[in-house]
Structure 1
């Protein structure tokens, strides 16, 4: 009996350690690693093309287009390209209404972001391809600061820093903001020690010569950014390249978004697996710590909860009953709470559940090609 108790306690501790790994042990290990310096060389700044895809983003377009006009005024040679994925609102008309500010490609219907970005990349002429989202705004100095990092010939890709707007509007937004601040710090440390392991679509860039070929079913942000690492170049993060985006405030919107992203991320992982296996040991460690361990966080939480329940039962069935009653009451309070620590805890668990559901969906051979903008941002 004592042996079973020990096994259950060990499973519980390992589950807790796995959940905590990306947020506590992994950052501490990164901080202990030496800095890998950059080596800029004199020369002209590369030319650039800025690309984004849009679907039913009419509400965001006026602010987005004004932001692009400001960037174009500061960088007259910046090429601006957009792909409309069959919008049913005024998105395409608003872009075309700006004259020659943005070159627009209209898709034949819903074909997805990966397909759209490939169309834009094939048309782009800049030495550097800058990828962003339709609802993301770039600070005035973002383009100049980003291109300056390409003075080092070993740098093949540069990520920016995403700052969220509206973090106090709901518990979901607050949790999303906290999660992203942790994510940004991890990327900073990964960049300092060599490579960041993957980018999100808000703001990142690569040298056009490194743009890979890939199917429409993968997560293009991860696939394109990892091509830099696979090519033996550095993928770094620039804190001074700032993008701003409004947070998703509703749990339903955020849940669906995380399921979609996780499904496509796991599908992409399987597509990239042969190249991932050939990465350097440090990069494989980073990738596993920040991505694979986190994708299965919901499973670790479930395993830990089952181990804790079994231990409680072995101590006393009454203890297990009291614990289950307390969890049920807490779940009921969390379902109605709009703010505070209980609501935040609920959103954290919901995020883990959504990610696990997305991974499970991808493991069954299903993925998501198209997307819909969140209504609550």
Structure 2
């Protein structure tokens, strides 16, 4: 009986840990008081828009048209791009728009972090706005980001990423759902103080806060967290919208998640001394949204072992029935292009990829370069 209670407790703890970032953490955030911003009178700061590209020729015509629209809306906007040794026509397409975009060419494959540092060093805007080569910004996005800098305590502002193509596959549907949850978490984190890090689709910081960092880290997380470390606010403007097409193939999404997780954990280790100095609330947020999620795969594995052992102790028939049910669900999910079984399999794959990336980083391996997903 005592062993069964222990196994049940382990299973319950694992279920809580897996659900924590998506259920319990959001509920806690909603109970926290709002920390209002304090805007002051003053001119709108100048801005530089920066992005890195590698083999994005297919996306570049639409990207350049989007940049031309933004430039027409905000004539003083400075736009700079870094080409990371593309082997297609990416650099030539950008260079042909020299009146719109200032192009910097890398010496070869050196990675996004290296490229962004080169762009930041060349930029002249008071605010640096970061985006990706395959991301399109809504026409009001720049103005809505810059408006939040009216509060002198605000050091960085994120926008909202809306994904396109969520119905094209189960992988895309799961990715879209995950990101909608992520965006809502950032909204609540912003309302209560600081968002815990940005992704590269759309975020900005005051140029004076841009940190120095090695090329091996995830620049989005490193740069955005520098705002929090400096004692300024990192907030989200949910009406500043960026749009990106989802990855639809499981293989592409798996590789992407492994790469991001490996760099995230490597970056976490680099930032650890500063993370430990954050306020208690920010440390709680960071742990809940990032660390617990990174190890979700371990919680699933331990929970599955506990559930299987408990079922075997209760009844071998229950154990066999449970095992067959799991095999059937996975088999149906792998063969399906949509539906709940396919979605469940994609969730498990996402956890496995994240755990693989974290474990890879723990052994000292990380990733500095990237390749665009072919199934976007």
| Alignment partners' CA distance in 2, 1:117 and 1:235 | 19
| Alignment partners' CA distance in 1, 2:159 and 2:31 | 24
| 1:266 pairs with 2:265 | yes
| 1:193 pairs with 2:200 | no
Q: C-alpha displacement at 1:99, in angstroms?
A: 2.5
Displaced runs of 4 or more, over 3 A? none
- Counterpart of 2:332 in structure 1 is 333
- Counterpart of 1:70 in structure 2 is 69
For structure 1, the residue ranges without an aligned partner over 5 or more in a row are none
Q: C-alpha displacement at 1:319, in angstroms?
A: 1.8
Q: C-alpha displacement at 1:329, in angstroms?
A: 1.8
RMSD: 0.6
- Counterpart of 1:276 in structure 2 is 275
- Counterpart of 1:232 in structure 2 is 231
| Alignment partners' CA distance in 1, 2:211 and 2:368 | 18
Matched residue count: 376
Q: C-alpha displacement at 1:240, in angstroms?
A: 1.0
| Alignment partners' CA distance in 2, 1:153 and 1:329 | 57
1:1-377 matches, within 5 Å, as 2-377=1-376
TM-score w.r.t. the length of structure 1 is 0.99
| Alignment partners' CA distance in 2, 1:168 and 1:365 | 37
| Alignment partners' CA distance in 2, 1:322 and 1:183 | 35
| Alignment partners' CA distance in 1, 2:2 and 2:164 | 51
TM-score w.r.t. the length of structure 2 is 0.99
Q: Secondary structure in 2 aligned to 1:159?
A: strand
Q: Note the alpha carbon deviations across 1:235-293, whole angstroms, 9 max, x for none.
A: 00001100000000000000000000000000000000000000000000000000000
| Alignment partners' CA distance in 2, 1:259 and 1:155 | 32
Q: C-alpha displacement at 1:322, in angstroms?
A: 1.9
Q: C-alpha displacement at 1:325, in angstroms?
A: 1.7
For structure 2, the residue ranges without an aligned partner over 5 or more in a row are none
| Alignment partners' CA distance in 1, 2:257 and 2:271 | 20
| Alignment partners' CA distance in 2, 1:188 and 1:334 | 32
Q: Secondary structure in 1 aligned to 2:103?
A: strand
Of 217-226 and 320-329, more deviation after overlay is shown by: 320-329
| Alignment partners' CA distance in 2, 1:99 and 1:246 | 26
| Alignment partners' CA distance in 1, 2:317 and 2:166 | 41
Q: Note the alpha carbon deviations across 1:148-192, whole angstroms, 9 max, x for none.
A: 100000000000000000000000000000000000000000000
